[in-house]
Amino acid sequence: MDGKLSKLEVKFLFFSIAQDSIGKVKRDAAVRIYLDLGEYKLAEQELKKPLPDKSMGEYIFMSTIDFLETDFDRATNMLANWIAPEDTLEWYLGDEINSLYVYGLVSLANKNYRDAIQSFRRLLNIPNIEQLRSAYIEGLYHVSKAYQEYGDIEKAGRFKQLLEQALNEDALKIPRAQDRASFRELYSL
């Protein structure tokens, strides 16, 4: 064996770590679950609840959701970021990015385009957000989508150009052509 964990081992690790703190899943994780289930009004109600303290269970649970959606690299990166030293950029910005992202998703799902646009634009205005590539790309994708659904095609097009530029830069780092194509397809509008 080459020292890497198999997907099954990582899955077991996620569930075993989360087991102790899964009851402490934070509001934003519950909102994401409701969004995944298509329960947009419940997601909006959950979002109005106050935030409890940071919970390991939330991050493990979110990682597990991403893992089950077959994004193995994203799931392991999320776990690595949680365990990372507290002086990393991800540590300081994690809660703010997650809150803006989740609020934007809920607003978009409920066709509250102005709030969705505002939330995603605030996310994109976080200093050095371009360094956190997945948050940056997700922000560009969703703000473009919100503008498009709102009917502002000009602004949607501007953010779509930035998205395409970011996708082109990141796609160069993906070795297999088929993986590059599915990466681009994931963010096609």
Domain boundaries, given as residue ranges, for the chain: 1-83, 95-189
pTM: 0.58
Q: Which long-range contacts (CB under 8 A, 24 or more apart) does 89-93 make?
A: 89/128, 89/131, 89/132, 90/132, 93/126, 93/129, 93/132, 93/135
Which pLDDT band, with edges at 50, 70 and 90, does 145 fall under?
very high
DSSP code, position 114: H
Cα-based angle 96, 33, 63 (whole degrees, multiple of 5): 65
DSSP code, position 6: P
The reported pLDDT for the residue numbered 55 is: 52
The reported pLDDT for the residue numbered 1 is: 43
The backbone region for 59, taken as left when phi is positive above 0, alpha when psi lies in -120 to 50, beta otherwise, is alpha
The reported pLDDT for the residue numbered 91 is: 53
Q: What CATH number has the domain spanning 95-189?
A: 1.25.40
29 or 182: which leads in pLDDT: 182
167 or 177: which leads in pLDDT: 167
Q: What are 12's two structure tokens?
A: 């077991």
Q: What are 91's two structure tokens?
A: 């540590």
